Amino acid sequence: MPTTLVVAEPKDRLAQRVCGLIPQVIRCTERELFATCGFALLQDGTSVEGTLTLAGQPLPLAQLSGVLFRPARRWRPPSGLGARHRAFVRHETQAAWCAVLNALTCPVLNRMAPAWWLDDTWYRAHLAQAFAQQLDLPLSSGGDGWGERGVLSGAPSPETLASAYAVGKHLVVIDQTLSALESHLAAHAAELAQWQHATGIGFARIDFVHRSGYAVERVEPLPAMGRAREALLDSVSRRVAEALA
């Protein structure tokens, strides 16, 4: 039976809501995935085969209909190992799961690039710059980005932020002041799809500031929804469930 894998913490409101919208779900935490879940992966250049083993139960990769990947970024190897061994185990474990998630043929929200696993701050800056360039929008001077010398720069903009959630081909906008921006993004739907395909980010929150026009402040590939209003949480959850179907 087609099964959706949800990797999230127990109190993740978005994951809870999405699980209620999908018929067959297997859920685990980041720690459970990295520390207790086994896998076998075989790629020959044209096909992908393999199995995940969760709680002692095998799940063929062919049965996966989608993956919602929302790790807390808190997992660490056992403290009994030395510092160098812990670093080695951590990086090798993350590299292995990066390979598994990127090899899956089903929808994955999100397929994090190796750069994210190494440094998510730098990776968000890359996403913001790539999004702004692809969608023909300016990058906010206070947003995530690199200075002329390649140094990560930027401080929060004093202007009020407005946010939109890109989920697959859909844009979830609650703030009505973003209507003009919504029209701009709708006119660049092909470019948005290209950005999502290139980055593997099918679900993200994009923050904007408004001056003479809209500028990209930040792209968050793991948007926290803990304090989101019910209407927003419901809209985003439904779009995520549809994208995973």
* pLDDT for position 143: 56
Task: Tell me the whole-structure pTM to 2 decimals.
Answer: 0.88
Distance CA 62, CA 103 (A): 12
Nearest to 204 by CA among 123, 104, 99: 123
Can you tell me whether residue 239 is helix, strand or coil? Answer: helix
Q: Is-contact 3 27, C-beta < 8 A?
A: no
Q: pLDDT tens per residue, the chain (245 residues)?
A: 789 999 999 999 999 999 999 999 999 999 999 888 988 888 777 778 899 998 888 999 999 999 999 998 888 887 878 888 888 888 888 888 888 998 899 999 999 988 888 888 889 999 999 999 999 999 887 655 545 444 444 545 556 678 899 999 898 987 777 788 888 888 999 999 999 999 999 999 999 887 777 889 999 999 998 888 899 999 999 999 999 98
Distance CA 106, CA 138 (A): 33
* pLDDT for position 153: 47
* pLDDT for position 159: 60
**Phi, psi (deg, nearest 5) at residue 23:** -60, -50
Residue spans of the domains in the chain: they are 3-110, 118-221
Torsion of CA 134, 210, 144, 94, to 10 degrees: -70
Class level of CATH domain 118-221: alpha beta
State the sign of the Cα–Cα–Cα–Cα dihedral 140, 170, 175, 219. Answer: negative
* pLDDT for position 70: 95
Can you tell me whether residue 182 is helix, strand or coil? Answer: helix
